[in-house]
Copies of this chain bind each other. A is one copy, B any other.
Amino acid sequence: MAKKKLTKKLIYEGKSKILYEGPEAGTLIQYFKDDATAFNGEKHEVLSGKGVLNNRISEYVMVKLEDVGIHTHFIKRMNMREQLVKACEMIPIEIIVRNISAGSFCKRFAIDEGINFYRPVIEMCLKSDKLGDPFVTDEHIEIFGWAAAEEVEAMKNIAVRVNDFLCGIFHAVGIKLVDMKLEFGRVFDEDGNLYLLVADEISPDSCRLWDIQTGNVLDKDRFRKNLGGLQEAYREVAKRLGIIHESDTNIVDLNEARGEDK
């Protein structure tokens, strides 16, 4: 077991996930860490069990997206911390979709949190820790060649679809999708046609989620704003979506979950 782990080739280590070479060509293993970071890495903590919950939640959401014909990088979950995903060329742009004002958006425009936009607002950031993920427009993306104009258009269109679908899924379990962030990767099919896949993760790390009844924060803002109880909140999201159950003690005993195959 230990031997197998040692032979996994590291492809990329990010702040909250690691990518290893997959068992077959064109695949990668995405490992979910417990690390939480915010404010461009200035704030950092290890929140044991977060990775296990995000692995499950992201699996759940991506499977549902495939069901409605939105293609994702997800292939299958391998164990508590790892999932097999399609290897793709990541586009260095984050697509943000906002339904309700929150976070940096409120500060930037001096508006209150909790304002419902009459339609989703799309923003784009360059994925660059060095530059602090600056906001970018179609103009910057074209001039720097980060993605083709058609890709940007496609990412925005897919992001709106994902947002609509997730609003529905979360609404059904008493949760408001406030905003979310998506990342996309490029893959080519056997005929050489380019496809975009929803990649990275979709979880309470990448979405703002508020309880409809109480307004309770069920996402990474619990960490950003020092509210505590992050794991309990993520667990609540997983429970409401029917991913885990009250009786699932193994997912509570999160320190045990080290990403080994079961």
Contacts and interface: CB of A to CB of B under 8 A. Distances in A.
A110 B135 contact: no
Contact of A117 (B109, B121, B131, B143): B143
Contact of A108 (B123, B134, B137): B134
Interface residues of A, number: 19
A39 interface: no
B110 A131 contact: yes
Q: Which of A121, A135, A139, A140 has the most CB of B within 10 A?
A: A139
A130 interface: yes
A218 to B, nearest CB: 25
Please report whether the interface of chain A is mostly helix, strand, loop or mixed according to DSSP.
mixed
A119 interface: yes
Interface string A111-129: 0000001110111001000
Interface in A139-175: 139-140, 143-144
A206 to B, nearest CB: 19
Contacts of A131: 108-110
Contact of A109 (B118, B121, B134): B134
Contact of A139 (B118, B123, B139): B123
B123 A110 contact: no
B134 A137 contact: no
Interface string A88-111: 000000000000000000001110
Contacts of A122: 139
B110 A139 contact: no
Contacts of A110: 130-131
A122 B173 CA distance: 43
A110 B134 CA distance: 11
Given A135-B135, A137-B137, A143 B119 contact: yes
